[in-house]
Amino acid sequence: MSSQHPETTITRADWYGRRLERERHADTLFSELDLSEADLTGAKCRSGSIRNADLSGALLHNADFTGCDLRGSDLSAIELKTIHLKDAVITIDQTIFIAEALGLDVRLK
């Protein structure tokens, strides 16, 4: 995140199917949220944090997660051709998922 403390913190909320398209959530900490099937089309979450969130089935077309901490979140709905992920922070497990989604053959050795 761009500052030491987020401007807004949202924790343990059920936002299933919520419409958040084109909303701006820069410097926001989302933690343990149910965002499954939420519409985040064109949402701006730059330099924020979406930790341990369920994004399964979410609409993420043209969402901007530049510099966003996504560790522990379900990234199965990510549309790699239309999402902005530059400088986003993810775990090794998420890296493997993204590499496989790009069509890469990931092997241990």
Could you write out the three-class secondary structure of 20-58?
A: CCCCECCCEEEECCECCCCECCCCECCCCEEECCECCCC
* Percent with pLDDT over 90 in the chain: 78
pLDDT band at 6 (very low <50, low <70, confident <90, very high): low
pLDDT band at 1 (very low <50, low <70, confident <90, very high): very low
pTM above 0.85?
A: yes
User: Comparing 25 with 16, which gets the higher pLDDT?
Assistant: 16
As a whole number of angstroms, the distance between CA 46 and CA 93 comes to 22
Mean pLDDT of 85-91: 96
